[in-house]
Amino acid sequence: MSKNKFEIYGDKILISHPNWDFIASATIRDDYAEELQSVTWTKVGEYLYSNKLEKYLHIYIMQKKCLSPAKKYKLYKSSINKSIHFVQRSLSSSPR
């Protein structure tokens, strides 16, 4: 259970904590709203981080918003060093 407080307004989520003097804001979609709210986000440097997900909030959001659609249409490949490379191909071509 998360120690954070979450409020959703349309496609925005506000994240706060009793010990913080700030409120974080991020975009949200239904497909990852529950997961994002199920973990505790802590401030590490200037960013929010989840120990459970082992990710910073901004990286988590970008992976959900960009990488998920790319995986669906097979528009990326992963290299040996775990970096992500997006490939350009026609959506009408068959997946390889």
Q: What is the pLDDT of residue 1?
A: 81
Which of these, 89, 5, 96, 2, lies nearest to 51 by C-alpha position?
2
Mean pLDDT of 71-86: 50
Q: Model pTM?
A: 0.67
Confidence of residue 4 (pLDDT cuts 50, 70, 90): very high
- Contacts (Cβ under 8 Å, ≥6 apart) of 95: 74
The alpha carbon dihedral of 52, 58, 63, 64 has a sign of: positive
Q: Is the pLDDT of residue 94 over 90?
A: no
- Which distant-in-sequence residues (6+ apart) come within 8 Å of 47 by Cβ? 56, 57, 58
| Higher-pLDDT residue of 85, 26 | 26
